[in-house]
Structure 1
Amino acid sequence: MTRFDFHKSELVFPENVSNLRTHDNHNTYQVIYEKLSSLYDVQGAIISLRYFGILQHRNRIYTVAKNFPVHFPAV
């Protein structure tokens, strides 16, 4: 049992470095995505906060997992 199974949160919002998606030949993110997808509707995107007016240019991967459909707006 994982904390996702135990807590049954309505929303999970993991954030990490953008290289997570390609780490270990894409396996790391794939494991995370598959686990979340078994419990939630999941979408992820690599976004830089500079698009939101924050003076920081670092790409991060943001993943949203909800118990109801999720749609990221186009950046």
Structure 2
Amino acid sequence: MTIREIAIAKLQQLPESFLPEVSEFIDFVMHKHQNRIAEPKLPDDIAKAWAQWFEEVDRLEVTTNQPESEFKLQ
């Protein structure tokens, strides 16, 4: 018997009044594990994002503007 089959057999033996609580617990366990799986790998993602940003910045064209006035410090 697999663990799934054992769990189903146990569920079938429970009184009907226990099933809502079991269902809520199953939802909790699923939610708990989905969050772990869905967590991004921050160091890799951040490193890639910064690398992409620097590459895009390096491609920007930089122009110098002529001063609009002849202001000089004395």
Which TM-score applies when normalising by structure 1?
0.22
TM-score, normalization by structure 2: 0.22
